[in-house]
Amino acid sequence: MNDLLGDVLRAADPGTVRRDSPLSERALRELAAFEAAERELAAFEAAERELATNQTSERDPAATNQTSEHELATNEAAKHDLAATEAAERAGTSTPAEAHHVRAGTRRPSSADRSGSGVEARGSRRPAGRPARLRPRGRLGLAAGAIAAFAAVAIFVVALINPGPALAATPPLLELTRVSGSAPELLTEMAQMQRTQPPAGDTIRAQMWALNTSIAEDGSIESSVTEPQRSETVFAADGSVHLVLTAAPPFPGQEAAGLPKPGTVLVDESFPSGQWEFPAEAGPPTSVDEVGAYLAALTDDPNLSDGQTLREIAGILSNFPITRAQEAALLGYLATLDNITVAGQTTDRLGRKGIVFQARDRSPDFEDRLIVSPKHGQILAAETLYVGSSRTDIASPSVIDYVAWER
Amino acid sequence: MSEFSEFFRANHSLVVGVAERRLSSRQDGEEIATEAFRIAWERHRAGEPLSVPWLYGVVRNLIGNEYRRRDRQENLHTHLGEELSSHPDSLDETHADVRDALQRLPHIHRDVLMMTYWEDLTTREIAEILGTTPLAIRTRLVRARRLLRSALADLDQHTSTEVSTHE
């Protein structure tokens, strides 16, 4: 971004360590310890595999009992570690029980860690030769599942007792009706329709809304709800881009008090040529065969889930004035993916008939959708649903973002 | 280099920096990093994938734990970098002003500026961390920059009056 302001901000950074700073001595020591542990475990795994293939059916009973006790002990240690891991990963809330859970579960950096020997101390807790993670997954998997289930119940019970802040209001879910045809069939048809449409323009108009999610200082997820917005992005011939963002009317069910009046200009900014995040040369290909490689390069990720692909396509549509041929190629590419299904037919948030395509493979917590017109084959809208069970700031399922292009 | 090694090398300084700024202590930053990568190690050994958004979530939780441990709720909105300021020159005042202006912004706008300009996270990474779209982040960033510019302009007007009386 054009960046006198950015330079000023960077200069005011109070931090002494930046993302690209070289590793400290302490970090290098810890890394060395991890690498040593990895080598040890790898050697051990190899030895175990060899032992397993050489094992005969007759084993010394005494040795078997000792082994089982060992496994029990190390599995207990591993269970504790796993609980600590899960506790640290789970977003905290302010409920006392969960705070306790997180506190109890997460080991404070102790003086042992400070000296960098924490990893070695860990290693020695595992009796030589039995890193618990290498045991048959089934046993450890069950323990982990039981812990997670217990924790989930504990949180749920506490949530009932201390309901906490009200759930954030989110836009209504789209109503879906059945439609026949598989995703690949429908998408292929729509791609073909696209190629016969009149040329698209150089202005993108959209209405969008997203849940304002941030991470509070205490680590919990906080959501606040803002007004929907309308954007108009004009791509000039000289490469410059002009973005105007205005407040749009509240979504159905949204409390209007406190929101800016619809039409209020929120942002009016020009980006000189070369400073728009999506440069002109970065447009998608017009041939279906090239789309996969294009998306991989765009995202620096060769293994995009189909859900991510839908989101990336939405991003392209919002940031780059694509041609009909480019849009047809994107639809044709979606027709080749395995995890895209038809959710149904709907009337979208701007009143247009659309077919809803969805993917659930990005994450068990999210469902990604793309809505395409069965009349013109145009991509009309995209949205994301939260479908998980652990968040306390919003209901499930609920819409957490949408964008609808005025086309 | 193993996958874990690479992940460690690529992200250790990111973690120290994020923690250092929020806890106003490089030492605490290093300790958070030790704990975060121990957790990453466990996850890796369990066969789960490692990613920057996941790591960032862990680090924020650890920072939250540290706040609770310190039991100083008012520090949730502490002035950034008071203990860290290490530029003993005339620029220091300007930097303090910028940090003050930043402090006045709504939480979500301050956050996206910090994540972009101090933590060097990409729009895409920030979007993943916050569970939203890069478009939402970019429009939030545009808005945040506009708000910061106004806040700085306000400061400017205020200080120029003061300077003239000092002269």
Chain A nearest-CA distance from B148, in A, is 9
Chain B nearest-CA distance from A192, in A, is 28
This prediction has a pTM of 0.59
* Co-location of B107 and B41 in the same domain: no
Could you report the per-residue pLDDT of A237-249, keeping only the tens digit for each? 888 889 898 999 9
Integer-rounded Cα radius of gyration of chain B: 18
Among candidates B31, B63, B68 on the partner chain, residue whose Cβ is nearest the Cβ of A99: B68
Question: Please, what sign has the CA dihedral across residues A20, A25, A28, A30?
Answer: negative
Residue B45 lies in a domain: yes
- pLDDT score for A220: 66
* Co-location of B8 and B72 in the same domain: yes
Complex-level ipTM: 0.81
Burial class (CB in 10 A: 0-12, 13-18, 19+), A282: middle
In this structure, how many other beta carbons lie within 10 angstroms of the beta carbon of residue A201?
A: 11
Residues of A whose CB is below 8 A from B4:
34, 38
Q: Is pLDDT above 60 for B77?
A: no
Residues of B whose CB is below 8 A from A41:
45
* Co-location of B31 and B100 in the same domain: no
Contact B20 A15 (CB under 8 A): yes
Domain final position from B54, B76, B98? B76
3-state secondary structure of B166: helix
Contact A217 B64 (CB under 8 A): yes
Contact B13 A217 (CB under 8 A): no
Q: What is the 8-class DSSP label of residue A177?
A: B
For residue B83, what are the β-bridge partners? none
Residue B167 lies in a domain: yes
- For the ranges A51-65, A192-206, A218-232, B125-139, the lowest mean pLDDT is seen at A51-65
B117: nearest CA in chain A? A10
Could you report the per-residue pLDDT of A158-191, keeping only the tens digit for each? 444 444 556 778 999 999 999 999 999 999 999 9
Interface test with B, best of A21, A23, A34, A275 (most B CBs within 10 A): A34
Residues of B whose CB is below 8 A from A315:
133-135
Contacts with A124 (C-beta within 8 Å, 6 or more apart), sequence order: none
Residue B82 lies in a domain: no
Section B107-129 average pLDDT = 90
Phi and psi at residue B151, in whole multiples of 5°? -60, -40
- Closest CA relative to residue A358, chosen from A328, A387, A315, A323: A387
In CATH, what number is assigned to the domain containing residue B63?
Answer: 1.10.1740
Residue B81 lies in a domain: no
Contacts with A28 (C-beta within 8 Å, 6 or more apart), sequence order: none
* Co-location of B72 and B97 in the same domain: no
Chain B nearest-CA distance from A395, in A, is 15
* Co-location of B107 and B71 in the same domain: no
Contact A214 B130 (CB under 8 A): yes
Could you report the per-residue pLDDT of A28-55, keeping only the tens digit for each? 999 999 999 999 999 998 999 998 888 7
Q: What is the 8-class DSSP label of residue A64?
A: H
Contacts with A343 (C-beta within 8 Å, 6 or more apart), sequence order: A176, A356, A357, A358, A369
* Co-location of B104 and B165 in the same domain: yes
A366: nearest CA in chain B? B131
- pLDDT score for A149: 44
Among candidates A17, A99, A314 on the partner chain, residue whose Cβ is nearest the Cβ of B13: A17
Q: Is pLDDT above 90 for B106?
A: no
Chain A nearest-CA distance from B114, in A, is 9
B125: nearest CA in chain A? A299
Interface test with B, best of A3, A95, A214 (most B CBs within 10 A): A214
Residue B24 lies in a domain: yes
* Co-location of B46 and B98 in the same domain: no
Could you report the per-residue pLDDT of A97-139, keeping only the tens digit for each? 333 333 333 333 344 334 433 333 333 444 444 444 433 344 3
* Co-location of B65 and B110 in the same domain: no
What gap in Å lies between CA A232 and CA A321, rounded to an integer?
Answer: 12
> Which token pair is A304?
């995009």
A7: nearest CA in chain B? B117
* Co-location of B64 and B5 in the same domain: yes
Give the containing element (helix H, strand E) for A353: strand A353-363
Domain final position from B76, B107, B132? B76
Contact B34 A109 (CB under 8 A): yes
Contact A92 B64 (CB under 8 A): yes
Band (pLDDT 50/70/90 cuts) for residue A219 is: low
Number of domains, chain B: 2
Could you report the per-residue pLDDT of B1-46, keeping only the tens digit for each? 799 999 999 999 999 999 999 888 899 999 999 999 999 999 999 9
In CATH, what number is assigned to the domain containing residue B164?
Answer: 1.10.10.10
Contact B136 A208 (CB under 8 A): yes
Residues of B whose CB is below 8 A from A106:
35, 61-62, 65
Among candidates A22, A24, A88 on the partner chain, residue whose Cβ is nearest the Cβ of B39: A88
Chain A nearest-CA distance from B33, in A, is 8
Which residue is listed with tokens 């979007």?
B127
Q: Residue B100: which domain range?
A: 87-167
Q: Is pLDDT above 50 for A384?
A: yes
More confident residue, A236 or B157: A236
B19: nearest CA in chain A? A15
What gap in Å lies between CA B59 and CA B63, rounded to an integer?
Answer: 6
Alpha helices by DSSP H, chain B? 3-23, 26-45, 52-70, 91-104, 107-117, 123-130, 134-166
* Co-location of B70 and B134 in the same domain: no
Could you report the per-residue pLDDT of A352-366, keeping only the tens digit for each? 999 999 999 998 999
- pLDDT score for A357: 98
Phi and psi at residue A361, in whole multiples of 5°? -95, 0
* Co-location of B162 and B95 in the same domain: yes
* Co-location of B25 and B54 in the same domain: yes
Among candidates B9, B98, B120 on the partner chain, residue whose Cβ is nearest the Cβ of A12: B98
Among candidates A11, A23, A216 on the partner chain, residue whose Cβ is nearest the Cβ of B95: A11
Domain final position from B23, B45, B76? B76
Interface test with B, best of A5, A7, A19 (most B CBs within 10 A): A19
